[in-house]
Amino acid sequence: MTTQARKPTIDLDLQRIASDLFGSGMWLVVAALVVTYFSTYAIMAEGPWNTDQDGHGPFILIVALLAFLIRYPAIAAVPKPDRIVWEGWALLVASLTVFAIGSSQEILLFDSGSQIPVAAALVLIFRGWAGLKAAWFPIFFLIFSVPLPGWLIDGATLPLKVMLSDQVVELLYNAGYEIAQNGVILYIGQYQLLVKDACVGLNSMHSLAAVGVLYIYLIKPQSWLHTALLVLFILPAAYAANVLRVIILVLITFYLGDEAGQGFLHDFAGIVMFASALLLFFLFDNLIFGGMRWIQSRKKAA
């Protein structure tokens, strides 16, 4: 048996999707969901999505929507259940209850997080468990659009910042730069830099993990071992990308000044972080895939 990476295929027939939605009356459900969660998205657009920490939220929604549209032919091909799917209705009632609690009590985790089980419940009701299996990725991917709770961020961010600061100082010092630190404050030249939560917080790891999950989904590994190794590589790759981002910001500040480090080039460093994470996934994936093919060729030769 040979291991081959299956290229993602895109079958995006918007005319067919629109016809199915309007023909089946599903557009009413879609419209109801838009109205229900409009205030939620407005709150997140003015709050978490307007920050460095959770600015990836709209991107996640767009990717999830595109993934759903691409998977729609497979979802629509699933026969409608020949019975009432009570599990779906129960999940829908429970999810809307969580939404109501989150909306009334201003608990954004409940408010925005409820969209995930609501989407799963609707697919269950209209297409059953087989439909939910076909639609699992766009629904699961919505997890990355939900802002993480403050208590979790605060508990995990400080140790990450300290560890990353130590790593950056050690790498730059070994490269010949006169750099020192006091906790998460770095001193280089005449500048003093604070490693902020946005640079290496749990939110940053959260968004980079989304990149890793999307990459794994798109390449569709043919082996469970291949998939498991890529999943295990997500957090190390995210951490390495964060280290690179902070190093870039330190060097930009050192050579071009504080204004450059905090301005456009700061955002550019964020782009580099995501690009480097994707590159690391690509290199690691090819290392694994190439290794598997070499092992299989050796087995055949033997």
83 is an active site residue: no
Show the 3-state SS of the chain: CCCCCCCCCCCCCHHHHHHHHHHHCHHHHHHHHHHHHHHHHHHHHHCHHHCCCCCCHHHHHHHHHHHHHHHHHHHHCCCCCCCCCHHHHHHHHHHHHHHHHHHHHCCHHHHHHCHHHHHHHHHHHHHHHHHHHHCHHHHHHHHHHCCCCHHHHHHHHHHHHHHHHHHHHHHHHHCCCCEEEECCEEEECCEEEECCHHHHCHHHHHHHHHHHHHHHHHHCCCCHHHHHHHHHHHHHHHHHHHHHHHHHHHHHHHHHCHHHHHCHHHHHHHHHHHHHHHHHHHHHHHHHHHHHHHHHHHHHHC
User: Is 6 known to be catalytic?
Assistant: no
Catalytic residue among 6, 71, 245, 298: 245
Residue in 6, 199, 293, 298 annotated catalytic = 199
Residues annotated as catalytic are 199, 245
